[in-house]
Structure 1
Amino acid sequence: MRYLQLRLHLPSEVRHPMHQFLSEQELIRRAYLRHWNFSDPSAVTTLFHVVGDVAEGSDEYIDALDAVDTIVEYDITPVDDRSFYVYVTEATNGIARELRTLLTDTDLLVVPPIVYGPDGEMQLEIAGHDSELQAVVAGLPSHVSVSVDRLGEYDAHRESSVAVLTERQREVVSVAREIGYYDVPRNAGVRDVADRLDCSKSTTANHLRKAEARLVALYGDGNTT
């Protein structure tokens, strides 16, 4: 059995309103879809871990939830000053129906979390046989751009690039990538990342070093092809 780590970019016209929200402000920039339940054919129930400036951005996030007419109910549980969980029940129509199709109408295994970021970015990992993995990539709509971050033999003991980092490290790396810290040539420095995170330069540099060390160890495990 093989697995793929995919990075998708969805145009604004096909994004869920809460995914679009991540691109329309600077305070809440990433959401991790941790769990889902499709036992009720009329609804999709999901659990997201939302990361950002909770103190400043949570009210705006709640307003955005209230504006989505397909959301039946939601419940928010604070975690710390940088994140919270949101439990959502949404009517199965439109984009919610597409999510159900993506996660259930296939023999492939979708490995959580699915990561939603700004500018329509989604990251997900899927496992299955080679032919099925190739078919799902080939079957993506033409308006969805896709890149393969990683391909290899599936190993349940292998940590994914999402799971291997702490929530804070993922946030720091995501912001660094977003503003050009990893561009070639580099378009932003540690200070720029720190300013975006409202964090000290030394703390930001420490998070980046630890995250990069973990990712180098992960990608040096010999399982990639």
Structure 2
Amino acid sequence: MKCLRAHFDNEENPFGSPYDLFTVDGQRPCGELRDLRLRPDGTVVELCILENAPPDIESRLDEHPDIVDFDVGETSDGGVVCHVHLVPNDDVRRLLELVDEHDLLLDTPIRLTHDGVVVNVLGNHTQLTGAVSSLPESFTDAFCVEGLSDYEPVRNGVRAELTHRQREVLETAVESGYYDIPRQISIEELATELECSPSTVSEHLRKVESRVLTQLR
């Protein structure tokens, strides 16, 4: 089985106006789509976990004409969970139809980043190339194939329990030598590399370390 890693650029935003609802100070938050389904009536339901969201997210969802229904709550680590039922634009609907037509699978979670949406699509080479060649023209500028490789699923364990952002912070810390002896990088330098505050980096690493140590008890 092959895994096609694709990126949809935020600057082009082919996903329509509902995608803009989660912007905070002009920037979309990081997070994950844990589930995404196209219903027989052409609407979409999705479960989205965000690191943060605008304080008026409920009123934004309530007032948007393409949102059929929604439920918003908080996660245990201070994030936001959104269950949304919406009417997608024709191109998004077509994109999800291609997944079914070519017998593909979406490897969740789908990553939501400040720069766009990162998705891993599973299938054989013929299925994947057929789907890519059938993409709506409106996706051309936003869509980029980042790689095609053999599928290597993430096994259950501590890593699987971490959020995308926690994994990202941990990987950057390890690769940059934060856990080396002697330490090769400071929290402040890590924060600069990750484009966030030192307190945020420290909080993420504390949560990661807590999960790891809890597993070792």
TM-score by length of 1: 0.64
Are the aligned partners of 1:172 and 1:193 in contact in 2 as well (CA < 8 Å)? no
Percent of residue pairs bearing the same amino acid type:
19
Match of 2:81 in 1: 85
Task: Give the counterpart letter for 2:150 in structure 1.
Answer: E
1:152 equivalent in structure 2: 149
What do the CA deviations read for 1:56-77 (whole angstroms, capped 9, x no partner)? Answer: x442333432342110110012
SS of the residue 1:80 aligns to: coil
Q: 1:135 aligns with which of 120, 130, 138?
A: 130
2:95 paired with 1:109: no
Higher Cα radius of gyration: 2
Matches within 5 A, 1:28-107: 29-52=29-52, 57-94=53-90, 97-98=93-94, 100-107=96-103
Which digits, 9 at most, give the CA deviation of each residue in 1:64-108, with x for residues without a partner?
A: 323421101100121135312111111354465245325433311
Secondary structure (helix, strand or coil) at the match of 2:75 reads strand
Are the counterparts in 1 of residues 73 and 82 from structure 2 also a CA contact under 8 Å?
A: yes
SS in 1 for 2:68: strand
Partners of 2:22 and 2:57 within 8 A in 1 = no
Q: Which runs of 5+ in 1 are unaligned?
A: 177-187, 211-225
Q: 1:27 to 1:51 in 2, by over 3 A?
A: farther
**CA gap 1:78/1:205 in 2 versus in 1, 3 angstroms:** closer
How far is 1:129 from its partner?
Answer: 1.0
- SS of aligned partner of 2:29: strand
Task: Please give the per-residue CA displacement for 1:94-145, whole angstroms capped at 9, x wherever unaligned.
Answer: 46524532543331111112222224x1111111111222233344442224
Contact 1:31 1:115 in 2 (8 A): yes
Displacement of 1:21 in angstroms is 4.4
Structure 2 gap segments, 5+ residues each: 174-187, 210-217
Residue pair 1:47, 1:87 contacting (<8 A) in 2 also: yes
Counterpart contact for 1:38–1:45, Cα < 8 Å:
yes
Hey, what's the Cα distance between the residues in 1 that align with 2:119 and 2:71?
A: 24
Distance 1:174 1:48, change over 3 A: farther
Amino acid at match of 1:47: L
Q: TM-score with structure 2 length normalisation?
A: 0.66
Which whole-Å CA distance do the structure 1 matches of 2:11 and 2:28 have between them?
19
Query: How far did 1:191 drift?
Result: 3.7
Q: Distance in 1 between matches of 2:167 and 2:93?
A: 29
**Distance of aligned partners of 1:153 and 1:14 in 2 relative to their CA distance in 1, 3 Å threshold:** closer
